[in-house]
Each structure stands twice: as C-alpha cells, then as structure tokens.
Structure 1
Amino acid sequence: MWLWVQSVLVPLLTLYLCGVKVLIYQLFNRSFTLPALPKQNGRVAIVTGGTRGMGFETARHLARLGMHVIIAGNERDEGLAAVRRIHEEISEGKAEFVFVDLTSLTSVRRFAQTFKVRGLPLHVLVNNAGTMLVPERQTEDGFEFHFGLNYLGHFLLTHLLLDSLSRSGRHGCCSRIVNVSSATHYAGVLNLDDLNRRTCYSSHGAYSQSKLALVLFTYYLQEQLTAGGFSVTVNAVDPGMVDTALYDNLWSLAQAMKKPVAKILFRTPAEGAATAIYAAAAQEVEEVGGCYLYNGHKTRSSDLSYSSELQANLWRRSCELVGLKEAETLCCGLTRSIEGFTSETHM
C-alpha cells in the first residue's frame, strides 16, 4: 500500500499541483510575445514532432524566417500535409518531411545517417516530440514509453547530430539545440536503477521523469560544449499548458473538466511554441546556453535538475542504454575534450 502511495498517488497529486500553479500563472500573465527575429536564410533546422501542435507552429515560424526546416515525425500523411500548409504560406523558406520513429533506436540512427549523407549543415535542432500519460507500455527496444520517446530517443538523436551542429556553428552565430521540457519536471524524480519504472508504474511519474531527464541532459551537455569551446548552445524550454493533443490520454473525468478550462486558460499552440522559436532564432540568446526558459524568460528549474552528480550519472546511464561508443558519442573534438569521461562511461 505504501509503495502504491509513493509511486502512484504522490506523482499524480504532485503533477496536478504543478498544473494548477501553471494555470494560475497563465490566468494573471500574458503569453510571451515574440520580438522581431532576424532572417534565417540559408540555415537548416530539424523539428521533431513538427506535424501538428507546437511542433508545427515552430516549424512554420522558422520556415517563415527563411530556414530550410526538416519536420521529423512518424506520421507520413500528417507530415506531408504539414509541409503543404507551410509551402502555401511562405515564399522564402522551405519545409520537408522525413520519417523518424523516436521510440526506435534503429529508426533514430537511420534518420541521422540519412541526414548526414545529404551533406547539409545543421543550425537548429528542436527536440519537441513527446507523449503524455499513456498507459504502461514499452518501446520496441524495451524502454518505458515516456522515457524512450520524450528523452532517450532525443538523447541519441542529439548525439548523432552533434558533429553536424558543431561544424555549422561559429563564434557569434552558434548552432542551437532546443529541448522542450515541461513544468511537470518539478515533480519529477529519477531512479537510475529503475528508469523503466517496473517497481510500480505511474504514467504521471513516468512523464515527469522524462521531462526532468531532458533538463538534466540540457545542463550537462552545455557544460561539455562550453568546456570544448564549441559554437553550439543547448537550452530547455517550458511551453506552459497548451491546448494540444498531448492531453488526449487524460482520464474521462479530467478530459471533461479540461475542456472548459482550456478555452480560458490554456495557451494556443502558437503561443506555446513562442519560447522554443525564441530559443532557436532570437539574437538575444546568441551564445547563451544552459538555461531553462519559461514564457520567454530565464527561470530557475527544479533544485534536483542542478545536481551535477545526477546529471553525470544520467548521461553515463543513457549512453549505456542506447549503445553509444566513444567514436560516435560526440563530435571528434568534443570527444577528445571529455575522453576521460567517455572512457569511464564504457568501462
């Protein structure tokens, strides 16, 4: 009984408390308004989960700025429809859809390899795709679904594309990684010995854990990039509570309660995407990394997310889980700069 209270009831109540706090904030504060952004002609961006919701709004806005945007997703029809919509609206940028299933490490590796073969630069990677409150299930590689899709797939994708990002960035014009997290990370806990949450499953706890992992990853990766002198920045963004399909897995009662509240207090997908777009393109955050951005402003994330020990241990464990070897862990220079750490990872 006590295990159920700790593992199921507490995460549920904590997550909904986070939601109430966010709604109160949104009741009394306007959504972030994007400043005028510089043109991005010639720059290339990848946006995961860009077929709908905030991902689509992010892809559309970056394309409007002149970027070549690659929408990475696992719904081909939705992806092609999203590309058509963008091309109907813009004249300077370009959009295309490329299939990737972030719940499959094989698919992630195939996507990264296909991109590299094309020889394109990569200036922006927006790790946006996610799922929330799905019933207990696993990815094809055996990982808890939230952890595998929201975090681990993006962890691997980012590492496989770091060499492209590092080659494309330069001083005064960095390449940028944007990790879309959530206020639910404040409720997150991380048990490195039970990342699949097999002891006692809670979809609320699993979702919060995956979003905390993204923040921990953001901070540790930025530390390594800075130490290596690379012109790549990485930031985590919190979109707030946004009226998207992410809430489709709520309980029936919660769904009924959510609908009228969403009309009044939730952000629109365009409003929710604003901070991610800002992190991807604004001059104000040039060469600024290792931040948690909420409603367009730098905000303190959870106390747990600043644990250097937890950041390093999660990094090490994640490398083991996705099967990264030293040669493919990071771009060559960065690998050299942390060769002591990576060799320890694979002891």
Structure 2
Amino acid sequence: MSVISVVIPVLKVYYIGLKVLLYQLFNKSFPLPVFPKQNGRVAIVTGGAKGIGYETARHLARLGMHIIIAGNSENEGQEAVKRIKEENLHQNVEFIHLDLTSLKSVHWFVKTFNDRGLPLHILVNNAGVMLVPERTTQDGFEEHIGLNYLGHFLLTKLLLDKLKQSGCQESSARIVTVSSATHYCGELDLEDLQSCSCYSSHRAYAQSKLALVLFTYYLQQRLTAEGSHVTTNAVDPGVVNTDLYQNICWPAQLLKGLVAGLLFRTPEEGASTSIYAAAAPELEGVGGCYLYNGQRTKSADASYDEELQSRLWTLSCSLVGIPEQHRKAY
C-alpha cells in the first residue's frame, strides 16, 4: 500500500469537511417550519436512539407519527423511547432491534415489523459508521459499505412493498436516506467495493455515502416508472457534533474539541433536513433530490451516472442475495 493511496483520500475528506465548516460559519442552520400534524403515519428511523436519528424520531413523534426506532442497542433504544414518551406524552413510540451489519438481522427486523400489521409511510435510513478501522460485517462486507449502504439497501428493498401499499396519490410514502458531503470525493469501484486492494477508512466512508446517493436516484427512477406513490430523497446533515467522530485521529479530535461549539451543527440542527424531507407538505410527490440545509442541491457529478447507478443496483442485489425484482411477502 503506497503512502499516496492512503494520504490522498484523507486530504480529500478533510478538504470537504473544511468547506462545509466554513459554510456553516457564515450561514445559519435551516430553520424548520411548522408542519401540520401527521397522526396515523408510521415512521421507521434507523439509528434513532441517539444523535441525528434521535432528534429526527423525536420531532416526527411531535407531529403525531407512530415511531419505530431501529437500532442495535436495546438499552439505548429503550432509553430513547422513554425520553420521547416523557416529552411528548406520545404512546406510539417503540424500539425494534436491528443490526445493519447482519443481513439476517435485517430480514428478522422486516419480518417483526410486518407481523405487526402496521402500514409504513416514512423510512429514514439514518444509521451509519465513519472512519472505522479495517473490519468486516457478519456477512464479510467491509463495514462502511456493509452497514452504511448494503444494510440499508436490503432494508429498503424488503420494505418497498409495504411503502407502496401505504402511499397514495394524495400522500406518498417517503424514503429519506442520510448521505454526507464526503460523497463529493467518493470514488465507486465496483470491482473492489470491499476496498480489499488498498484500504483507507476515509475512502471507504466516502464511497459508502456516494453509493447511497446513486441508490436513491436509481430507486426513484424505478418508482416513477412503476407509477408508485413512493418518493426517495438523499439528505446531507452537514458537519454535526455527534459521537460519529470517535474514530478520527487524535490531532483532529483535539481540533474538534476546540471548534465544535462554534462551527459544528447540533444534532437537532443536523436532523432538520431529514425531518423536512420526511414531513414537508411542499415535498409531496417530489423525489430524486439531494437536500442540504433545507434546499435542493446538486450532488456529485458521478451520482448522476445512470449506467453506474444500474450496475451498482445489480451488484447490490447479488451481494445481499435477493433478485432484482424482489417481491417476497413475509
């Protein structure tokens, strides 16, 4: 492994991060408008026990939605449920275990949810890891691509029929997928999606976030062609002060401690665009967008490559073990 192959992805990621921090220094966080109550709608939020996911679940609960917090920590999940219920006196908040590093767990989660007989109007693909050391998921995938992307890819595919059944012409079901500005420096190598030839945590993270945007756009094309009342959008929360940064190097940790209060968004501010994408009336029927700070924004040029989108979709179906036209009902 050459020094250059390791250093360049690091420089690219930190350059993108610096640009975002400078933007945040001179621009206020998107203020959420007041949304109408959405009683009766059901939302799943992955990683909803803490950080951006918790704030997303908390706000959607305020709107009267039935919230399913999906996560891999029973203690954190139940504590999040307790806090949201105490604040909102809202009884329709619950936790279901989901480990996105295990395809078996994703199947189990979907079966458990479907057995409840509930509709599904909102799916927020929020959970993620960043800059973890080289390691694999239970199914042998590099962890960034496995958890951030493939776990959510399978989850979304398995829940698509439920989303299609729940959406209608007047009120579409919505898929919201949390990406990152680092996708702008992502390079997707379909021949080495697992980063086996030259591992860089920065490259792997950026690649996983680019994959999520490609997936979002291609899925919207398919949904539109089918005439389904389901929309899917990717969102960028900005640079947010959460524990996602626990794996950055110690100089960066030190710098973060000095500037986070001034430059980083709070988790509540970071969640604002996810909430907007999930609940805004003006986004009814609108999909295939990349949203940042409450605005539609141009994503990386590579994300619009339709051939790459299609090839990634086909490869992803193969990797998670489902046919492209998956129609299994649990």
Q: Aligned runs of 1:84-95 on 2, under 5 Å?
A: 84-92=82-90, 94-95=92-93
Distance in 2, Cα, partners of 1:52 & 1:150: 16
Q: Residue 249 of structure 2 aligns with which residue? A: 251
Q: Aligned runs of 1:133-144 on 2, under 5 Å?
A: 133-144=131-142
Summarize the Cα distance change of 1:329–1:187 in structure 2 as closer, same or farther, 3 Å threshold.
farther
- 1:66-119 deviation per Cα after TM superposition (whole angstroms, max 9, x unaligned): 000000000100000000000001134621000010000000001011111111
Q: Residue 304 of structure 1 aligns with which residue? A: 302
Distance in 2, Cα, partners of 1:327 & 1:212: 23
Q: Residue 272 of structure 1 aligns with which residue? A: 270
Structure 1 residue corresponding to 2:16, chosen from 11, 15, 18: 18
CA deviation after TM superposition for structure 1 residue 187, in Å: 0.7
Distance in 1, Cα, partners of 2:181 & 2:317: 26
- 1:16-71 deviation per Cα after TM superposition (whole angstroms, max 9, x unaligned): 00000000100110000001111110010000000000000000000010000000
Secondary structure at the counterpart of residue 271 of structure 2: helix
Q: TM-score, normalization: structure 1?
A: 0.93
- 1:271-290 deviation per Cα after TM superposition (whole angstroms, max 9, x unaligned): 00000000000101110000
Which amino acid in the other structure matches residue 25 of structure 2? Answer: L
On the 8 A contact 1:135/1:203 being kept in 2, the answer is yes
- Unaligned stretches of 5+ residues in structure 1: 332-347
Q: Residue 132 of structure 1 aligns with which residue? A: 130
Distance in 1, Cα, partners of 2:196 & 2:323: 27
Count of matched residue positions in the alignment of Structure 1 and Structure 2: 329
Distance in 1, Cα, partners of 2:252 & 2:100: 28
Q: Residue 208 of structure 2 aligns with which residue? A: 210
1:147 equivalent to 2:140? Answer no
Distance in 2, Cα, partners of 1:92 & 1:167: 25
Q: Residue 164 of structure 1 aligns with which residue? A: 162
Secondary structure at the counterpart of residue 40 of structure 1: coil
1:119 equivalent to 2:117? Answer yes
Summarize the Cα distance change of 1:38–1:89 in structure 2 as closer, same or farther, 3 Å threshold.
same
Which deviates more, 317-326 or 295-304?
A: 317-326
Q: TM-score, normalization: structure 2?
A: 0.98
Secondary structure at the counterpart of residue 96 of structure 2: strand
Identity %: 65
Secondary structure at the counterpart of residue 35 of structure 1: coil
Secondary structure at the counterpart of residue 87 of structure 1: helix
Secondary structure at the counterpart of residue 328 of structure 1: coil
Which amino acid in the other structure matches residue 298 of structure 1? Answer: R
Distance in 1, Cα, partners of 2:80 & 2:66: 14
Distance in 2, Cα, partners of 1:253 & 1:326: 45
Distance in 2, Cα, partners of 1:17 & 1:8: 15
Q: Residue 224 of structure 1 aligns with which residue? A: 222
On the 8 A contact 2:218/2:310 being kept in 1, the answer is yes
CA deviation after TM superposition for structure 1 residue 299, in Å: 0.1
CA deviation after TM superposition for structure 1 residue 325, in Å: 2.4
Which amino acid in the other structure matches residue 208 of structure 2? Answer: S
Distance in 2, Cα, partners of 1:326 & 1:269: 36
Distance in 2, Cα, partners of 1:201 & 1:189: 13
On the 8 A contact 1:216/1:305 being kept in 2, the answer is yes
Secondary structure at the counterpart of residue 324 of structure 1: coil
Q: Residue 31 of structure 1 aligns with which residue? A: 29
Which amino acid in the other structure matches residue 64 of structure 2? Answer: G
